Amino acid sequence: MENKNNEQEREIEVSEPAVKYGNITPTEFWEMTNDGENRFEYYDGYVIKLDAVCWQHDTIEHNLSRKIELFLDGKGCKVMGPNMPVGNATAKSYMLPDRIVLCEKMLLSTQFKCLLNPAVIFEVLSPSNKEIDIEIKRQYYQEISTLQEYIMVDSQKREIIVVRKQFNNKWGPDEIITGNNNLLIKTIGYHLPLQEIYRDTGL
Mean predicted lDDT score pLDDT of the chain? 84
Q: Which of 73, 67, 11, 101 is nearest to 200 (CA)?
A: 67
pLDDT: which is higher, 85 or 43:
85
Whether residue 2 is predicted with pLDDT greater than 60 in this model: the reply is no
- pLDDT of 39: 80
Q: How many helices (H) and strands (E) does the chain have?
A: 6, 13
pLDDT tens digits, residue range 51-69? Answer: 777 899 999 999 999 999 9
Looking at the DSSP bridge assignments, the partners of residue 123 are 152
pLDDT tens digits, residue range 155-189? Answer: 999 999 999 999 888 999 999 999 999 999 999 99
> Is the previous residue joined to 82 through a cis bond, with omega within 30 degrees of 0?
yes
pLDDT: which is higher, 45 or 135:
135
pLDDT: which is higher, 143 or 36:
143
Whether residue 40 is predicted with pLDDT greater than 90 in this model: the reply is no
- pLDDT of 197: 97
Whether residue 14 is predicted with pLDDT greater than 90 in this model: the reply is no
Looking at the DSSP bridge assignments, the partners of residue 108 are 115
Q: Which of 21, 1, 24, 12 is nearest to 156 (CA)?
A: 12
Strands 175-178 vs 159-164: parallel, antiparallel or unpaired: antiparallel
Whether residue 12 is predicted with pLDDT greater than 50 in this model: the reply is no
Looking at the DSSP bridge assignments, the partners of residue 164 are 149
CATH topology of domain 54-197: tt1808, chain A (3.90.1570)
The helix (run of H) or strand (run of E) holding residue 61 is helix 55-72
pLDDT: which is higher, 127 or 190:
190
- pLDDT of 25: 75
Mean pLDDT for 34-56 is 77
pLDDT tens digits, residue range 86-145? Answer: 987 676 778 899 999 999 999 998 777 889 999 999 999 988 888 888 888 898 899 899
